[in-house]
Amino acid sequence: MVLSDEKKYTVGVLVQANFGARHQLRIAGVPVGREITELMPSEKPDAAQGSSIIIVVATDTPLLPIQLKSIAKRAAMGLARTGSTASWSSGDIFLAFSAANPYEIGPPVLRNLSCIPTTEMTSFYEATI
């Protein structure tokens, strides 16, 4: 949960991962992948080729499309914290959406939307990362 203006919002991140090598794995900045030696798979020199990742960030926070775009960019920062690096052939996709501001499909009319101020985005970036 993330607090903004005394309201609670949820930020959830779903990661589909098919990337990286064990020696790159970091948890809380610690290179734990180098320490795990049991059952070490043999890594091929080109193991990173053909890897991919899809990260979807979902929230009930009222955000505008430009704010969601900036949230999606922060998902890549979270990925980097794991020790991952990009390869030339990786297919990386980062998406973000908000379930706030629902409306029924109907005739085109002017609609009112709510959003949090951009100055309040830092805690949502932290939650995403």
Instruction: Please give the Cα distance from 60 to 81 (Å, whole number).
Output: 25
DSSP summary character for residue 44:
P
Phi-psi category of 13—alpha, beta or left, where left has phi over 0 and alpha has psi -120 to 50?
A: beta
Instruction: Please give the Cα distance from 47 to 27 (Å, whole number).
Output: 21
Q: Is 123 a catalytic residue?
A: no
Instruction: Please give the Cα distance from 33 to 31 (Å, whole number).
Output: 6
In the set 60, 70, 92, 123, the catalytic residue is 92
In the set 4, 52, 87, 123, the catalytic residue is 52
Q: Is 92 a catalytic residue?
A: yes
- Token code pair at residue 90: 């990786």
Q: Is 52 a catalytic residue?
A: yes
**Residues catalogued as catalytic:** 52, 90, 92
